[in-house]
Structure 1
Amino acid sequence: MLNKIVPFQEHYHDRLVDIWYRAVRLTHTFLTDKDIEFYHRMVQNGALKEVEIWLALNEDEVPTGFVGLDGTKIEMLFVDPHYHGKGIGSQLIKHAEKVKGSHLHVDVNEQNEGAHAFYKRYGFIQIGRSELDGSGRPFPLLHLELKR
């Protein structure tokens, strides 16, 4: 399934927040409901505007996933759970490589084994680890880098 990749458009904001929420509920099983609500408020209230967002749109122009970039760092990558395993995440990373070069970085929650495995399959290698996430919460991060 090949999606069209387009830059962020404001009218998709709520749909992207919904994709984020459903994907996190499915994949971030180590988070409590309170944790998810904390991060959900951040995403709802402007986190998407702090990064360069690229959307994957299906043939009906409905977002199926998105990647948020800050320079060469992938700050967020979320795919609608209905589309997991269909290559959308890889397509979004390929687009990031096209616009930013192949020296990409990403931090992934250590407890999110699925995401870590996904990035590893794509060719990212671990270059470091932090005990706390970017909000200072006790969710260790693995620092990964793509070198081609």
Structure 2
Amino acid sequence: MNSNDDVHLRRAGRPDVLPAADVWLRSFTAALPSVRCAHSDSEVGDWFSRVVVPQYETWVAVTENKVVGVMVLSDGELKQLYLDPAWRGQGLGDRFMSLAKQQQPHGLVLWTFQVNQSAHRFYERHGFVAVERTDGLRNDEREPDIRYVWQPQK
């Protein structure tokens, strides 16, 4: 079992680009086996290098100099939250969610695929409410998805 105590969260930098992309790819494959990844491994690495790390608020979870999680925020949207498959169920997602709410205290929106039942449970446990379902024609994977919203308690 992995120890969440040995993991620290920090903003991603240039050296984190490829390790974070690797976590994204491995997590996507493990969590979404029925969903076709719309981009090659090298395209995902390029996207992390050109867009994700330099243009968005990108955070990584690091233990023993190894990236084990990645979270991406932009303008009130939780764009990405992916964990190394070995780190799922260890509380790391909860830590990322607390950080996301700290960084975006006025609320968050996110999209997740309809087939990703574990993500639905996770986000709903953290106070997100499903507000829209689509046929997936607007995402690269062409996979039906759900938009979730979190609003802080007044």
Q: Tell me the TM-score range normalised by the shorter chain.
A: 0.7 to 0.9
Match of 1:51 among 56, 66, 71: 56
Match of 2:28 among 17, 24, 30: 24
In structure 2, runs of 5+ residues without a counterpart are none
Q: Is the 8 A contact 1:110 1:140 kept in 2?
A: yes
Q: Is the 8 A contact 1:133 1:141 kept in 2?
A: no
2:117 is aligned with 1:113: yes
| Correspondence for 2:151 | 147
Instruction: Kindly tell me the number of residue pairs found equivalent between the two proteins.
Output: 144
Match of 1:15 among 1, 19, 28: 19
Structure 2: which amino acid aligns with 1:54?
A: W
Structure 2: which amino acid aligns with 1:113?
A: Q
- Taking structure 1 as reference, are residues 137 and 14 closer, same or farther at Cα in structure 2, changes over 3 Å only? closer
| Correspondence for 1:87 | 91
Normalised to the residue count of structure 2, the TM-score between the two structures is 0.84
Answer with 93-102 or 47-56: which moved more: 47-56
Q: Is the 8 A contact 1:132 1:141 kept in 2?
A: yes
The alignment-based identity, stated in percent, is 19
In structure 1, runs of 5+ residues without a counterpart are none
Distance 1:92 1:19 in 2: 15
Q: Secondary structure at the match of 2:148?
A: strand
